[in-house]
Amino acid sequence: MQSLTQNLSFLSPLFSQVSESPEPKKIQLKSSFFKNPIFFTSHKSVHSPDKPISTGVFPKNSIFFTSPKCYHNPDKPISRNPRNSSVSCITAHEIPLQPLTVPEKVHCLACEFKSLPEPIDRVKRLLHYATLLPPFDESGRVEENRVKGCTTMVWLQVEMDGNRLMRYKVDSDSEITKGFCSCLIWLFDGAIPEEVLSVKTDDLAEMNVGMPSKGHSRVNTWHNILISIQKKTKNFVEVKDKDRSLTEFPPLVGSTDGFSVYGNYKEAQYMQESRQAGNEVEGPT
Amino acid sequence: MMMASTTVESAFLKIPSFGFVNPNNATSKLVSRSSVSLRFGFHFRSCATSSASAAEPASASSPSSVVNDGAKLGPGSLGHITRPDFPILHQAVNGSKLVYLDNAATSQKPTAVLEAIQNYYESYNSNVHRGIHYLSARATDEFELARQKVANFINASESREIVFTRNATEAINLVAYSWGLTNLRPEDEIVLTIAEHHSNIVPWQLVAQKTGANLKFLELTEDEVPDVGKLKEMLSKKTKLVAVHHVSNMLASVLPIEEIASWAHDVGAKVLVDACQSVPHMVVDVKKLGLDFLVASSHKMCGPTGIGLLYGKSELLNAMPPFLGGGEMIADVFLDHSTYAEPPSRFEAGTPAIAEAIGLGATIDYLSGIGMERIHDYEVELANYLYNSLRSVPNIRIYGPEPSRVFKRAALCSFNVEDVHPTDVATFLDQQHGVAVRSGHHCAQPLHRYLGINASARASLHFYNTKEDVDDFIRALTDTISFFTSFK
């Protein structure tokens, strides 16, 4: 089970103090995000003493600066609709236990960005998340992986693993866009396709840094990448569903010995069409 | 490459040529702002990527003026005087004063234009060319008056040579489909440049596919201007159309249109000029330039969106078939055929953008009141100031020619910052400093590809911008670069 510190790592940008000492330090969280400030210990120094922190610039390689993680209290009813979600942003009195679903993550992310007081803070938060994006293989930067319609270059690779969970890799030549991508990966990577397809661009409007428009636009990166993710996810689902239907519903063949399953649908179609064309085909008639 | 100093004034409103504020007022007032303190809060440093030759300031003789000449960019400049006319400029964005430097995308509108549109809707909104009642007659008069103002503004022979379209893009499509489909044959050639806006490339691609014509593209010189020297060599008896920009929306370069038109006519080709970035900023005289077609957009010249103009020589328009079919463009309609109206109505199907046309008329009044020569002179100074200021910022690459006696630049700079994506630059400029610039390909993807880049940022000015706007932009850009550098 993850430590409390790791569980609360998504709160790292809200730290008001950092410590260089290797000794565990108490760190107070100050933010209107919480009802009461909470204290917890750090296990590592949170920034390199060689790298001074300037306003809004977050240090790298800290255990606290991992991908945003949100959890829900299983005692609270959960709604699949992120707008109606009763998942509140974590308070001092709640101990998180289970990973969130995609709609809950969307809500969490929206809370996080909404809590940032200035638009520039959202830019800086995205730049921070850009540093968390896993490296993208150069071989993936091909035209077929490009997300069309963006003013920046975005490459997206989509796969479905053996457990029918979606896996995404994404990259961009723009740091802010990388930040968007990082958030989307956190939302969707490892999710079931139906959850990915359920998210609407309106749900992500709170994260749309500097872009009040929710609609289609060359600079509305959220919209373009989300649409691309969902399109490719849908393609995977359709292909997998088609393959599954072929194996799940093979044709029944009747013979004097009764009915039995033979081949698959495509084979049966081929045999039928060939016989209708007058060709000899092996297999039961 | 400087435009000839032909002054085109509205025949309908004579006003002093300086300090003009609102041409629709019975008495025009000279409004000047109190002296503006000049800020020199930033330090110029030599740019690592600057080229060797020092840019000479482009100077153009300007008509003498009682108030504003001398310190062209200082207090009392054209920008300072006209800014009060543009209410949108006086606001804060993300906590900072708005610095609007995206004029090549669209310009802001003076109060005079806003009031003209509101007055139309409040006082005499009615359909044109149809009704016989008072409101319709007045609306028709104002609509046609606007057309006459446009004709005068570009020195067309008559108002019937002006077709109102939705924008310049539609105007080019009109010529492509109406003139092009009728006149182009297989193996005919259309000459363009690689620096054209998409609106002056894609319609020709579509029509070339239908007719079998070929497109030929003029490339750039080392100075990053279209190679006009090679253009003459590209022309032949096969050339049927030369379709080029007047001012590049990315390179800021200005083409010698008069020469190009002469060469084109020598081989029997027609000339279409995309004047979207020139009509708002300088005197454009279609007769002097010898043009067959010219297109422009109202919204780039302080007019409303939703209306553009096509200028076409009478004999050409008369011979062209309709583009869109419907009401207004017909003479008689039968079940099996129809006959068509004369130009310009033949090309204005349906109810036109009446308020917008009237707004465009008011725009021309406003611009004429200032004087296009004066606007151009001021913007040349501002262009040089912008270029030199930007060039002094380290790790900046500016596209297009260096300003000199040979190359005049428009008041815009497309640029890139080393190792920082232009969209990131533009986002930070907006979010942190309230500076509005454009990032992307500026509807010039072939040009970007030619230059080996995916995107660029662009700052573009208009006569209501000031030296302080440029200073604020440079200061903000320096901070932006510093932020991303320290972030990395």
Q: Give the 3-state secondary structure of chain B.
A: CCCCCCCCCCCCCCCCCCCCCCCCCCCCCCCCCCCCCCCCCCCCCCCCCCCCCCCCCCCCCCCCCCCCCCCCCCCCCHHHHHHHHCHHHCCEECCEECEECECCCCCCCCHHHHHHHHHHHHHHCCCCCCCCCHHHHHHHHHHHHHHHHHHHHCCCCCHHHEEEECCHHHHHHHHHHHHHHHHCCCCCEEEEECCCCHHHCHHHHHHHHHHCCEEEEECECCCCCECHHHHHHHCCCCEEEEEEECECCCCCCECCHHHHHHHHHHCCCEEEEECCCCCCCCCCCHHHHCCCEEEEEHHHCCCCCCCEEEEECHHHHHHCCCCCCCCCCEEEECCCCEEECCCCHHHCCCCCCHHHHHHHHHHHHHHHHHCHHHHHHHHHHHHHHHHHHHHCCCCEEECCCCCCCCCCCCCEEEEEECCECHHHHHHHHHHHHCEECEEECCCCHHHHHHHCCCCEEEEECCCCCCHHHHHHHHHHHHHHHHHHHHHC
Nearest to B432 among A120, A174, A219 (CB): A120
Which residues of chain B does A154 touch, with a Cβ-Cβ cutoff of 8 Å? none
Are the beta carbons of A152 and B423 separated by less than 8 Å? yes
DSSP-derived pairing of the beta strands B162-165 and B214-218: unpaired
- Does the pLDDT of residue A29 top 80, yes or no? no
Could you say which residues of chain B have pLDDT below 70? 1-71
Q: Out of A120, A173, A218, whose CB is closest to B431?
A: A120
Top-tier CATH class for B167-305: alpha beta
Q: Are B461 and B386 in contact (CB under 8 A)?
A: yes
Q: Do A152 and B421 touch (CB under 8 A)?
A: yes
CA distance B424 to chain A (A): 6
* Least confidently predicted of A120-129, A263-272, B221-230, B477-486: A263-272
CB contact under 8 A, A152 and B455: yes
A76/chain B closest Cα distance in angstroms: 37
Q: A212 preceded by cis ω (within 30°)?
A: no
* Band of residue A47 on the pLDDT scale cut at 50, 70, 90: very low
d(CA A127, CA A255): 67
Q: Any idea what DSSP says for residue A39?
A: E
Distance of alpha carbon A168 from alpha carbon A229, whole angstroms: 8
Give the C-alpha distances (Å, rounded to integers) separating A212 from A102, A113, B128, B136, B440. 23, 14, 37, 40, 19
- Other CB atoms within a 10 A radius of the CB of residue B60 amount to 14
Encoded tokens for A195: 């959850």
| Sign of the torsion angle spanned by Cα atoms A179, A180, A181, A187 | positive
Active-site position among A70, A89, A108, A150? A150
DSSP-derived pairing of the beta strands B330-333 and B338-340: antiparallel
B69 at interface of A, judged by CB pairs closer than 8 A: no
Is B424 at the interface with chain A, CB within 8 A? yes
Helices A175-188/A119-130 angle, 10° precision: 70
Alpha carbon separation from A141 to A25, A166, B241 (Å, rounded): 43, 20, 39
Q: Residue A243: its pLDDT value, please?
A: 66
Query: pLDDT value at position A281?
Result: 52
Report chain A's mean pLDDT, rounded to a whole number. Answer: 65
Contact at CB, A152 and B431, closer than 8 angstroms: no
Mutate to test the interface with B, among A47, A50, A174 (most CBs of B within 10 A): A174
Query: Is A118 an interface residue toward B (CB < 8 Å)?
Result: yes
Give the model's pLDDT for residue B245. Answer: 98
The answer to whether A127 contacts B455, with C-beta atoms less than 8 Å apart, is no
**DSSP-derived secondary structure letter, A33:** T
d(CA A133, CA A181): 8
Do the Cβ atoms of B432 and A209 come within 8 Å? no
Q: What are the helix (H) ranges across B120-201?
A: 134-153, 168-174, 181-183
- Identify all chain A residues contacting B95, using CB atoms and an 8 Å cutoff: 118
Mean pLDDT of A263-284: 56
Test the A interface: residue of B198, B418, B424 with most A CBs within 10 Å: B424
Q: What residues does B340 pair with on adjacent strands?
A: B330
Phi/psi class of residue A133: alpha, beta or left (left: φ > 0; alpha: ψ in -120 to 50)?
Answer: beta
Asked if A210 and B427 come within 8 Å (Cβ–Cβ), the reply is yes
Confidence at residue B145, expressed as pLDDT on a 0 to 100 scale: 98
Q: Does B229 touch chain A (CB under 8 A)?
A: no
Residue B372: partners with Cβ closer than 8 Å, 6 or more residues away: B7, B8, B281, B282, B283
Please say if the pLDDT value at position A48 is more than 80: no
Find the residue in B nearest to A153 (Cα): B454
Domain B371-485 is found in CATH 3.90.79.10: no
- Render B202-257 in DSSP notation, one character per residue: HHHHHHHHHH--EEEEE-B-TTSSB-HHHHHHH--TTEEEEEEESB-TTT--B--H
Q: For residues B333 and B252, give the distance between their C-alpha atoms in angstroms, rounded to a whole number.
A: 48
Percent pLDDT > 90 in chain A is 22
Contacts of B476 in chain A (CB under 8 A): none
CA atoms of B246 and A83, how far apart (whole Å):
51
Mean pLDDT of A137-166: 89
Give me the mean pLDDT over the A253-281 stretch. 59
Angle in degrees, CA B119, B29, B64, rounded to 5: 125
Of the candidates B175, B206, B345, B157, the residue with the CA atom closest to the CA atom of residue B272: B175
- Residue B10 in tokens: 């509205």
Of B431, B441, B483, the CB nearest to A119: B431
**How many angstroms separate the CA atoms of B45 and B389, rounded?**
10
Mind telling me how many Å the CA of A107 is from chain B's nearest CA?
Answer: 24
Q: Which residues of A touch B454 (CB under 8 A)?
A: 152-153, 173
Nearest residue of chain B to residue A218 (CA atoms):
B440
Q: Which residues of B are catalytic?
A: 443
Task: Work out the average pLDDT over A61-74.
Answer: 42
Distance of CA A264 to the CA centre of its chain: 36
- List A residues 128-187 in contact with B (Cβ-Cβ < 8 A): 151-153, 173-177
Per the listing, tokens 């020297």 go with: B229
Give the confidence band of A89 by pLDDT, cuts at 50, 70, 90: low
Query: Which residues, 6 or more positions from B69, have their beta carbon under 8 angstroms from its beta carbon?
Result: B62
- Which of B95, B420, B486 has its CB closest to that of A57? B486
* Mean per-residue pLDDT, A172-192: 92
Question: Does residue A122 register a pLDDT over 90?
Answer: no
Is the CB of A127 inside 8 Å of chain B's CB atoms?
yes
Chain-chain contact of A54 with B424 (C-beta, under 8 angstroms): no
| Whole-number pLDDT of residue A262 | 54
- Per CB-CB distance under 8 Å, the chain A contacts of B430 are 210
Residues 53-112 of A with CB under 8 A from B: 54, 57
Using a CB-CB distance cutoff of 8 angstroms, which residues of chain A are in contact with residue B421? 152, 173-177
- Bridge partners, A156 (sequence order): A170
B439 chain-A contacts, CB cut-off 8 A: 151, 219
Q: What residue type is A182 in one-letter code?
A: S
CB nearest B454 (choices: A173, A175, A218): A173
Of B94, B440, B484, the CB nearest to A119: B94
* Domain-wise residue ranges, chain B: 167-305, 371-485
Model pTM score: 0.75
- Could you tell me which residue, B342 or A11, shows the higher pLDDT? B342
Structure tokens at B359: 């707004």
Centroid of chain to Cα B351: 26
Q: How far apart, in whole angstroms, are the C-alpha atoms of residue A91 and residue A88? A: 8
CB contact under 8 A, A176 and B432: no
Q: What is the pLDDT of residue A60?
A: 38
Average pLDDT over residues A182-207: 86
Of B31 and A99, more confident? A99
CA distance B74 to B81: 11
- Predicted local confidence at residue B39, as pLDDT: 36
